[in-house]
Structure 1
């Protein structure tokens, strides 16, 4: 820790899949930036943004934002099971460290909520509509390879399909 303090870092950029980066930022008293989609506490949006379970599907339920009453019940039960798992499996591993170095009145989950910027590794265009927060920056696709040209036969198929679609759109207008 002494070498970290002497280095006088300006920011901690970390992946919150493990909670150590958030604790380090708090200990060094520097801004915290998450490179995130998932945290150790689950899907990032559910932690930091209002996420009404009536229309925001919980992770791994394979539900959409158009849920029936029974699907909403499934969503709430899945959420409660996820929070139970978090409380009894993940947090107990971090609580002793937090209590020792930050005091008994500090809650482990506040380390995540205090992040200054969330670099969200997804594109909101591909997500269900949901509330978001002003300190979230979407950067979907930054890990993608540059595009390559399509093979000739596939390019020909795409061009034919586009021409056919244009005809289907224009013919009804006349």
Structure 2
């Protein structure tokens, strides 16, 4: 019981009250700082995922189909190579297993990346409808369209994101 009486005495004492308020302020400052750092970490990870998706879709759009169409001066995207390039670059940049897209030890992601939509549009100009995003895209040149879903996690916070990217080869003819 002596401890309770001492605490009551310190609370009524101005010096004891100041110490308690100082402790509360320090705890609140540490908690807010931790949340700010965690939010910053999530922001940086989200930016890294966006940049990786941009690079991956661009790599897919650069998989030019070789053959008679190319000999005639028409650039088309090879669907198989485009998807292979897309997965390879995405896995490399985000630290994923290339075949399963599961996160490896030092991955930015906390769960498996899900490719919601991947399409190559060679018939241009066209209007492409994305069933995942439920919107139209005007496409002028052969393009790669991708929609992925990822989950990134900090210490206290987590974020689920659905990202989309459309990238064109910007090549239409050699003439």
- TM bucket (normalised to shorter chain) is under 0.3
State the TM-score, normalized to the length of structure 2. 0.26
* Higher share of residues assigned strand: 2
State the TM-score, normalized to the length of structure 1. 0.26
